[in-house]
Structure 1
């Protein structure tokens, strides 16, 4: 059985880390936390290094392509020469920017802590590190190696770290990711839908809204038609969320620019491919009907994650480990996405909700159930031990 897990020490780490704002765009805050986490990773065997996040393009409200910078990513590599190796991932960033009012911790009751990132996922990082420290005390630890990646851009789809995730996933036996449990009772996320973020730039022609509106080409009207048509593409295999329209100017000017942003959630890769074909046809139709030009950016960033046979084996291993610890482990389909989607797309089985029990993530009501710290760390340590004994080989 796994020993040496100190829940009080884990809680102290979480409190210290959550006092540091690490909204994805707060590069200075991410830098501060990165140093804290690098020191914690250095207590494990292996080597720690920082990896610069690649800049990625984005479209601003004026339809211009700009470059977005991201924080550094942390990487720990342990026993790189081992025949069997595992990938563990977590993320440093949160959805709460530096000017968001939700910045402090408070106790909801004696066993429930509210605060930014307590569940998603500074609590998960604490679980991961405690599990690894406990695992390293076991006799079989030397039988496997592992990489740990803590990235800084997960909350915006991992555009900077996706190539690094793919590189690290290659050849791995399995992967463990420490997003919070799908439900407060500890239920895991099994199959996941995919996710794609798109930006469509519509250029029309400006004119005076009273004197010669017929000479204008209204980009806002074209954008509205596009949004309604996108929503009509929804079906059993895909959902579409039009999220934002930018553009326009004074009331007496026919607007010549609109920028439409939307997200899709396909259930399967075939659904994503079907949507791409429909989108191309739709853009051509809207452009012709409204006499505007349309340029699209973006696409699928998180492929759907199916429950294939290797994934089923890993989930069953997790369930068996839970049973050995008196934990009832279940899983269910989720519409949410995470780095587990990207790992699964590399052909590596992954369980991606091994973090804390809690809930209300991405809101000021986010909470952590403190009792889950020790139980989830013990679960992951036992999973690692079973993998070192040859499970999944």
Structure 2
């Protein structure tokens, strides 16, 4: 085990007393609703985070999202609005750069019933975003503060992206993430730990969200149904066939999720919209799924004599735990051991911005945030002691990266 040096201990020691301040930030940030579609709340949160990170001395911008679109319930293409993103750069130091990412959005819209914070028991806080991932942003801020106060600060550059649309696939922030990744070699993302005991996420599946607008032809259901082209039946047929893909390739997950369409019983439906999610384990799975879906679209179009308009993509590529990723995991594990923590990792079907950073060529650990659980539900919780615990882990990792402990 690599012991903590006197210099490292000096930089880490202030974190132990920072728990109440970190908790206060989390409570204040989580009291503000920042659902992915709440652009007003996200704008307010962006301003709050700019102020919180200002003492680090980086160059800060609030960046507009890239345009995106989706299908409405009738199948028409419509603009899809996303919030603005915070980008902070501390350039010009050393020959390495780290990209630290987090997201300010949550899955809870402003009309969701889950808006309040409460204590479940001593040291366990329940609330929207406490773990996923405003707690993680607090950890990131504290770790960078420790790095900047250490003698190693001048040996490494860093960038921070706090995006507003991670929970909805980062469509508006993807170009910003890719641009920053092109300048960096290492990524740390502050999603919550994969398990309450602090286990990290290792390899991750990829994810693609898709929608098909199917256009048939209306007709009277009794007088001349043969003149109609039933879009609802075509969409249902497509849903069933998409679902069979997971049996054809067991390492693939497919979830037909929503079907809109239909109308009066005496009218052959002329429009339907099907939405689904696909999660490939490997890049080969993704390539197979793309080809197989194209075959299904062509066959449905011909068999049912309908039009099909497809939107969506694999916005999250698979993230295998290759040698590059394993090297950074090993460094984090060594840092954990030096602090008295047994850091482990597990594969997961969940996805995050870490998928995209790894696909861009970075070594990435993407669960550097707090310990907690039940995310994406009104049972979401934060284990408060993990705020300082994970801040120490992230700070030590940053300092050892600055020392050049990882050969990339």
TM (normalized to structure 2)? 0.95
Give the CA deviation at 1:81: 4.8
2:372 matched to 1:350?
Answer: no
What corresponds to 1:300 in structure 2? 314
Separation (CA, whole Å) in 1 of partners of 2:264 and 2:221: 10
Match of 1:237 among 251, 259, 269: 251
Give the CA deviation at 1:79: 2.8
2:379 matched to 1:359?
Answer: no
Q: 2:66, 2:175 within 8 Å by CA — same for their partners in 1?
A: no
What corresponds to 2:384 in structure 1? 370
Match of 2:111 among 78, 99, 102: 99
What corresponds to 1:384 in structure 2? 398
Q: 2:204, 2:281 within 8 Å by CA — same for their partners in 1?
A: yes
What corresponds to 1:211 in structure 2? 223
Separation (CA, whole Å) in 1 of partners of 2:172 and 2:38: 15
Q: How many residues align?
A: 393
Give the CA deviation at 1:276: 1.1
What corresponds to 2:55 in structure 1? 43
2:78 matched to 1:66?
Answer: yes
> What pairs up with 1:128-143 in 2 under 5 angstroms?
128-143=140-155
Which stretches in structure 1 are left out of the alignment for 5+ residues? none
Match of 1:162 among 165, 174, 182: 174
**Match of 1:233, SS?**
helix
Deviations 1:202-221 (A, max 9, x none): 11111111222121111111
What corresponds to 2:294 in structure 1? 280
In the TM superposition, structure 1's runs of 4+ consecutive aligned residues that sit over 6 Å from their partners are: none
What corresponds to 1:34 in structure 2? 46
Q: 1:54, 1:69 within 8 Å by CA — same for their partners in 2?
A: no
Match of 1:290 among 304, 308, 329: 304
Q: 1:200, 1:261 within 8 Å by CA — same for their partners in 2?
A: yes
Match of 1:178 among 187, 190, 204: 190
**Match of 1:20, SS?**
coil
Which stretches in structure 2 are left out of the alignment for 5+ residues? 1-8
Deviations 1:321-353 (A, max 9, x none): 000000110001110000000000011000000
Q: 1:198, 1:297 within 8 Å by CA — same for their partners in 2?
A: yes
Separation (CA, whole Å) in 2 of partners of 1:370 and 1:300: 35
**Match of 1:241, SS?**
strand
Deviations 1:147-196 (A, max 9, x none): 01000010000001111111101132311000000011000000000000
Give the CA deviation at 1:55: 2.0
Give the CA deviation at 1:82: 3.3
TM (normalized to structure 1)? 0.98
What corresponds to 1:310 in structure 2? 324
Q: 2:93, 2:155 within 8 Å by CA — same for their partners in 1?
A: no
Q: 1:80, 1:146 within 8 Å by CA — same for their partners in 2?
A: no
